[in-house]
Structure 1
Amino acid sequence: MKKAVEKTQVLVDLFGYGIVELKITYWLEFFSLPTRAYSIECHIVHFDATLHSWLYSPDFKFVFSEIEGGKGHAVCFAGERSKKNIYYQTMLNVVADYIFLKEKIFH
């Protein structure tokens, strides 16, 4: 099953930048392997690189997978590890939490 979500607004509070509004489009794909998992591909729409110099790429991916037995979930981010900074990592965490709650993944 694959689902596309048109622009959604996510607010991220970044120290030194204040609250940053990001418009994000994302795609979810469900997999049922040994455990249930969702692959999420995200794209930040119309971002200004001069204002968001901490943002290395408008595109990023992550996977939610259910911990065996349904006792929780794990999040795995994909991408170039050497290019992450605290602002980028904070943004990834906020977006992942937002999508997890909005889509009611594993509920």
Structure 2
Amino acid sequence: MKKILIIVLATVLMLNMMGCMKTSNNKNEEKIGIRGLITKVLTDDNKKVTGIFVEGKVEGDTIHDKATVSIDKSTKISASELKEGMRVEVVFKGEVMESYPVQGKAKTIKVIDFAT
């Protein structure tokens, strides 16, 4: 009787743990912070791009409509050069400052459409 009880409890615990596990892939876990046009490219004294200002609309899969996005060496960017007028998607790294517009560091910047 004890063996059956232990087996049942172990099975219930395993099923409970499996129900708590995340089954989504990384793409689904990373919410797009903003999708929109780059309206300003921010550079340092050496003309190195340090950030962008992006404006768009809040959509079903995005959070913000305007954002100042900081870029550092860990940011993954799908274009070698960012320019005003490019349409981009930004995934933020960590929390954003809840000012308006929000300010945050980019984890990834994906160019959707190049400026003409």
Scaled to the shorter chain, the TM-score interval is 0.3 to 0.5
Could you say which structure has the larger radius of gyration? Answer: 2
* Greater per-residue strand proportion: 1
* Normalised TM-score (structure 2): 0.31
* Normalised TM-score (structure 1): 0.33
Q: Which has the higher contact order (CA 8 A, sep 6+)?
A: 2
